[in-house]
Structure 1
Amino acid sequence: MSASKKTFRHRRWGLRLHQSLVFSPLFCRAVGAGGTGRAQRVFFPGCSLAAYAPHHVLAVSDYLRERLEGVGVLLKCCGKPLRLASLKESFQARFDSLRSELDRMGAEEVIVACQNCYVLFNQLDERRRVRSLWTLFEEQGLPEGLCGSAEGLEASIQDSCTTRGIAEITGSVRSLLDELGVTVHEMEFSRERARCCGYGPQIVSGDAKRGRQAMLKRAAESPCETIVSYCASCRSAMGLDGRKSLHLLDLIFGAPPPSSGGPMRDWLNRWRARQLLGRSA
């Protein structure tokens, strides 16, 4: 067997293992509104945010419940990695199960923190309204006391390539940063011209070296030492060259403590997010 075929088979095996784990009961949880199993609105944080900062998942859930009625949470993956790898049948089965769970919860609206999830739900789930967490933050307002809390910080923005053409999302992100007091220095390629952070091509190609090179190249385009992302995967990618890489939620709810541990840490954080949501139910 050629080296390329071995790499291809190994990549697909790794993706299937990842998806089997991320859809398992160990890392998933559905929490209804008001102690019930149902919710008019469902916050869908996505698996990457849970892997990065489980306390952000809980903090956003609490924020939404304070401001909106009938908010529940569904902690699960949208299955996008399978779609990127052209595993169409596996992806469709995963996404269908996700829609069925939202149906069981009675969800009329899904609020997403992940840009990949936002695009998938808009494309494939005609049963409910899809809302970006960032436009909702702008509409509802930041938590009390945060206006100007990041004054003095100068940063660039890594726009998610999956939603780069959606002006209401890129605009809301900048409005929130302005309200926080951040001085933004735009990259040459931003908003609708934003370049990929390199994470997606790494999944597709299975080539970690190629993915890392793309990540380093994109981070080097920032005129600032600090880069703010609103995608957990982008946040991870933009910190590889030693720059300070922040998630927008870090500026709202506080950054998680620095840690190392790679994939094992990510899985532990997903489990922690599940446990935190269980205690808040």
Structure 2
Amino acid sequence: MDEIRITDALTGAVIAVAPDGNTARVSEGEDRHLSPSVFFPGCSLLNYAPALVSVLADFLAQAGVADGTSLLCCGKILDFEEDGAVRRAAADEALRTAVAAAGVERIVAACPNCAAALKRALSGGEGAPAVEVAPLPRVLAEMGCRIDEDVVARVLEAKRRAADGEMRLWVHDSCPDRDGYGFGRGVRALLPDSLLIEENLMPSSRCCGSAARAAGRFEAALAQGARRGDEAASHGASALVTACMSCAPSLALAQEALPVVHYLEFICDYPMDWRASARPMALRFLLEDEGERARCDGRAFMSLSPCAGGAL
């Protein structure tokens, strides 16, 4: 499969990403153009399923829903690093500047973590641009997209978990989506009503275990994920469905009772092995201010090419 090429709407750089999500290069640069609506896939989707980024970017563009795509990192990762607060503030300011320069009025976010981080970044600072951050599943539902029962059966069969008898789906709601549950409600609108479990119709977030894992409490993280699987299984679920590509590998590693499916696997008929996908992310394109010290580890988006000789 050829490289996936995306012109970043917020920087003008053209990024070529390898199909496996392990390498990327800045192939050329372009002048930024106005992009009132931007698709923001986030690091997890880019690393785990770059092919889906390309498919969704094209689909949203052809439907007139997104004028461009940005592969930038939302900057949340900086909270966990040394001098994180200072670096996060600088990254947020740089993001606000780029968004304003591109004339962005709406960002369609594929990741609940990114959505929360973007809302935080774009609501802070004097003169911050007024930008709507819209959850991708809600946008897809509003476009009229729906998930077919046949696709559900096909994806589950590909995961070697064909349901014996009636298929039932349990939606796992991610923690960053608690403010309005745009992702949780959007996923439920996309799924066939006949497959939804009555006790799971209203969104309710319980952590998949990633917060404990980030704190180094790995056993607690696995136990938390296992409880989510047990809860869904106790209600007769055939699979756990999530809208978060961080929750998906976390839940898959923590339990084997139920297969874990990201709803985009259904939308795109693209089954994924989350246990195999659970690896450190190679690609994070940070847009930091020009005063940030030169970094040659591939982290800063604008220094990706000079630092690594054109490749990550």
Q: TM-score of the superposition, structure 2-length normalised?
A: 0.65
Aligned ranges 1:222-261 → 2 under 5 Å: 222-223=232-233, 224-240=237-253, 241-242=255-256, 243-258=258-273, 260=276
Matched, 1:107 2:104: yes
Q: Which residue of 1 aligns with 2:11?
A: none
Query: What's the RMSD between the two structures over aligned residues?
Result: 3.5
Distance (whole Å) between structure 2 residues aligned to residue 89 and residue 62 of structure 1: 36
On the 8 A contact 2:61/2:67 being kept in 1, the answer is: yes
Q: Which residue of 2 aligns with 1:183?
A: 195
Distance (whole Å) between structure 2 residues aligned to residue 221 and residue 101 of structure 1: 43
Aligned ranges 1:1-281 → 2 under 5 Å: 26=24, 37-68=33-64, 71-83=67-79, 87-126=84-123, 127=129, 128-142=131-145, 147-149=148-150, 150=152, 153-178=167-192, 183-185=195-197, 191=203, 193-203=204-214, 205-223=215-233, 224-240=237-253, 241-242=255-256, 243-258=258-273, 260=276, 262-263=278-279, 266-267=281-282
Q: 1:256 deviation in Å?
A: 4.5
Distance (whole Å) between structure 2 residues aligned to residue 97 and residue 28 of structure 1: 19
Q: TM-score of the superposition, structure 1-length normalised?
A: 0.72
**Structure 1: gaps spanning 5 or more residues:** 1-24, 275-281
Distance (whole Å) between structure 2 residues aligned to residue 110 and residue 164 of structure 1: 19
Distance (whole Å) between structure 1 residues aligned to residue 282 and residue 173 of structure 2: 26
Q: 1:70 deviation in Å?
A: 5.5
On the 8 A contact 2:39/2:66 being kept in 1, the answer is: no
SS of the equivalent of 1:194 reads: coil
| Equivalent residue letter for 1:94 | A
Distance (whole Å) between structure 2 residues aligned to residue 142 and residue 30 of structure 1: 34
Distance (whole Å) between structure 1 residues aligned to residue 240 and residue 44 of structure 2: 18
Percent of residue pairs identical:
25
Distance (whole Å) between structure 1 residues aligned to residue 58 and residue 229 of structure 2: 33
Q: 1:87 deviation in Å?
A: 2.5
On the 8 A contact 1:115/1:163 being kept in 2, the answer is: yes
**Structure 2: gaps spanning 5 or more residues:** 1-22, 124-128, 154-165, 286-297, 302-312
Higher relative contact order (CA 8 A, sep 6+): 1
On the 8 A contact 1:31/1:73 being kept in 2, the answer is: no
Say if 1:69 and 1:184 are closer, same or farther in 2 by CA, change over 3 A.
closer
More helix by share: 1
Q: Which has the larger radius of gyration?
A: 2
